[in-house]
Amino acid sequence: MTSRAPTQLSLPVHLPDDETFRSYYPAGNQQLIDSLRQAAAGEGETVTYLWGSGKSGRTHLLHATCVYASELGRSTFYLPLGIHASMSPAILDGLEDLSLVCLDDIDEVCRHPIWEEALFNLYNRVREKGTCRLVVSARAPANQAGFLLPDLVSRLNWGIHYQLHPLSDDAKLAALQRRAKMRGLDLEEEVGRFLMTRLARDLRTLFEVLDRLDKASMVAQRRLTIPFVKETLHL
């Protein structure tokens, strides 16, 4: 009951089992995927920096890399830095002992000197150790992400750098229709575009919704029309 005791909670972070390399719509990022598979296997460059604006699939790829490394029996850690305010930078201590560390949205700690220094130190330990693969994601390239610490920026420039391009609406529609087809569902273009207009436009959400529509259409024995979709999703 002391007023200074920090409250420590344990949050289950779940890597969705369907966010794998198999479910990633590559759209020209095949070289990146090969490189992430290497990192998951402990091969190739020590550090990889992925960047891309908005919902370009960074989280999916980091999840996929962790899932693949786990399948190979390797120790992994995934951390989304969007919640850094709820965590101590000490969470980065000792991560270099793992086989694979994926840090999502590292630009969330830009201009937070204590976090920038903790990242800088992690990079140094990872390189020194040599056995850990570190994959980080951000919305912008290392030089433009807004970090203060020049030594950190120089570390972020180590290794491999990839830019992810967000899928165009047409590519998203194609991915959605391909996914529907794999499930034996007929998703007309008009219905697909309706979903993309009304829901969060990332493929994760659209795929989740497709799963739900798949079940609902089986139960109701109805086709995926706009009225049926509206009714099912309360739109």
Kindly list the residues in this chain that would bind its own copies in the complex (CB under 8 A): 1, 3-17, 20, 59, 63, 66-67, 70-71, 73, 76-80, 82-83, 85-88, 91, 110-114, 148-151, 198-200, 204-205, 208-209, 212, 233-235
Nearest to its own copies of 76, 177 (CB atom): 76
To its own copies, the closest distance from the beta carbon of 45 in angstroms equals 23
Please state, as a whole number, how many other Cβ atoms lie within 10 Å of the Cβ of residue 13.
12
Nearest to its own copies of 97, 151 (CB atom): 151
To its own copies, the closest distance from the beta carbon of 36 in angstroms equals 15
To its own copies, the closest distance from the beta carbon of 40 in angstroms equals 12
| Contact partners, residue 77, CB within 8 Å, separation at least 6 | 66, 95, 98, 100, 101, 102
Nearest to its own copies of 76, 160 (CB atom): 76
State how far the Cα of 112 lies from the Cα of 173, in Å rounded to an integer: 39
| CB distance 13 to 91 below 8 Å | no
51: nearest Cα among 126, 109, 105, 102: 105
Nearest to its own copies of 3, 221 (CB atom): 3
DSSP 88: -
In order, the DSSP letters of 40-68 are HTT-S-SEEEEE-SSSSSHHHHHHHHHHH
DSSP 87: S
Phi, psi values for residue 112, rounded to 5°: -110, 90
To its own copies, the closest distance from the beta carbon of 125 in angstroms equals 19
To its own copies, the closest distance from the beta carbon of 130 in angstroms equals 24
Nearest to its own copies of 165, 198 (CB atom): 198
To its own copies, the closest distance from the beta carbon of 227 in angstroms equals 16
Nearest to its own copies of 111, 223 (CB atom): 111
